[in-house]
Amino acid sequence: MKSNYTNILLAGGLILMAAVTRIAGYEMGIYNLASVAALGLFSGNVLKDKKLAYLLPLLAMFIADAYIQYMHVVYDNSMKGFYDISQFFVYGAMVVITFLGTKMKDRKALRIAGYSIAGSLVFFVLSNFGTFLTGLWGLNIEGLTTTYLMALPFYTKEGTQFFFNTFLGDMVFSGILFGAYAILKQAVESKVAKA
């Protein structure tokens, strides 16, 4: 029972951390610098309960989206928490990133960095494909090309910020989550060995 309670507290803390980093980034105008994808990678790799692993990043996204929708819709209509079809692709990207985490065999720094970069690329490809499906630049090959060109770094100021922040956030927060987990695990194991 105590272990289950600890797991619930840990899951709640991780969800809260991911939602808060996403909300804080939004509030400061630093978009996509969040720990949600890192949480997906981490939970997919570390948690034995895979339903919980997939639920954590999705719930964190939903909480942050609800905050953005209901706390800012009156003040700022330029960014909404709940928007168009592309949002399903953003959430889908979180599911794929969590799945990537389940496939990571060991937790070495280089491997974590590689999976973080892969997760960032998955997010970039899927979220922008969702944007393409909105028809913003047309639902044809030219529209698809324009969608990805507009999202490439150095093409537009906003594209650079989103792209760079996604990679930076995924790398930093993956390092924090996996690093803290390794330190805590080692401390617990050494305490158990001494007892």
Distance CA 109, CA 119 (A): 15
Q: What is the pLDDT of residue 154?
A: 42
For the chain, what are the domain ranges? 2-194
Amino acid of residue 101: G
CA triple 76-38-4, angle to 5 deg:
105
Q: What is the pLDDT along the chain (195 residues), one digit of tens a residue?
A: 456 666 667 777 888 888 888 888 878 777 777 888 999 999 999 988 899 999 999 999 999 888 888 876 545 455 666 788 889 999 999 999 999 999 999 999 999 999 999 999 999 899 999 999 999 899 999 999 999 888 775 445 555 566 677 888 899 899 999 998 888 888 878 887 887
pLDDT at 115: 96
Quick one: pLDDT at residue 190?
82
Return the C-alpha torsion angle 71, 31, 95, 131, nearest 10.
Answer: 90
Packing angle of the helix pair 157-194, 2-27 (nearest 10 deg): 160
Q: With contact defined as beta carbons under 8 Å apart, do 46 and 181 qualify? A: yes
Check: CB of residue 181 under 8 Å from CB of residue 42. Answer: yes
Alpha-carbon distance of 178 to 195, in angstroms, equals 26
> Which CA distances in Å does 72 have to 159, 165, 178?
23, 22, 33
Cβ atoms 25, 33 nearer than 8 A: yes
